[in-house]
Amino acid sequence: MMKPKFHIKTESNLAGLILTVGTLIILTTIVFEYRIGWIGVKRPAGEVPLFIFQKWEGLQKIWGWQCIGFFLQTIAFVLLLKNSSNRFKSMLWAILVLLGLLIVIAFGMTLGSYGPALEVYESQQELFLSLRGAVGSLYRPGLLGLVFLTIIYLIETFSASGLIHRKWGFIGFAFILLGIVLSFVPSLPGKTIGAVIFFAPLFVGYAYWINS
C-alpha cells in the first residue's frame, strides 16, 4: 500500500500543518474583509465607528475566524519553539509566540467589547475610542511577527539545511516583495495586496508539514 504523501511523524510536522491551516484561515478572512468593505476602501477616521456598527454582525464573524487563525499560528509557534535545536531560530519562535499572543488578546478585546461600546457610542464616544486605541496598541506590534516569519522563511530557503527548495523559495520571496511594492501604489488597495506577506508563514508551515 502506498504511503500518503502528507503524514505527521513529528511535532514539527504537526506544527507545520497547524501553521498552514491557521494562515489559510487568515487569508480567507482578508478576502471577506475586502468584500464587506473593511479594507480596500478609503474612509475618514470619523466614519469608522459607524461602519463597524452597521457591519458588526459580519465583521464579528470575520474577526472571530481571524482570531482562530492567529491562535492556531501561535500554537504552531509554541510547538516549533519546543522542538527547535537552533538557538537563533528558537529566539525567533519565542518572539513569535509573544507577538501571536498580543494579536489573540487584541482580537479577544475587539470581539468582547466593540459591540457594547458601539451601542452607547453617541453618548460615550470616549469608551469606544479608548478601547480601539488599546486594541491597536496590541495588534500593531503583533503584526511585526510577519517580519520575523519572513526571516525564518529566508533562513529555510537559503541555508544549507533549509526546508524550502531554494528555487521555489526565491520565486515565493520575489512574489511577496512584488506584492509589498504594489501595496504602496496609491490607486491600488494597499492592505489587500499587502496581504501577500502572509504567504511567508504559509510557505514555512507547508515546508515543516511535509518535511520528513
pTM metric for this prediction = 0.90
What's the length of the chain? 212
Residues 89-122 have pLDDT tens digits of 999 999 999 999 999 999 999 999 999 999 999 8
Burial of 156 (0-12, 13-18, 19+ CB in 10 A): buried
Residue pair 200/156 in contact (Cβ under 8 Å)? The answer is no
C-alpha cell at 40: 480596500
Whether 1 shows a pLDDT value over 80: the answer reads no
* Domain locations in the chain as residue ranges: 11-210
Q: What is the pLDDT of residue 30?
A: 92
**Helix, strand or coil, per DSSP, at residue 175:** helix
Helix (H) or strand (E) holding 197: none
Q: What is the pLDDT of residue 49?
A: 94
3-class SS string, 29-73: HHHHHHHHCCCCCCCCHHHHHHHHHHCHHHHHHHHHHHHHHHHHH
Helix residue ranges, H only, the chain = 11-36, 48-54, 56-82, 87-119, 125-142, 145-158, 166-182, 190-194, 199-210
What letter does residue 122 receive in the DSSP assignment? Answer: T
Residues 173-202 have pLDDT tens digits of 888 888 777 767 665 555 555 678 888 999
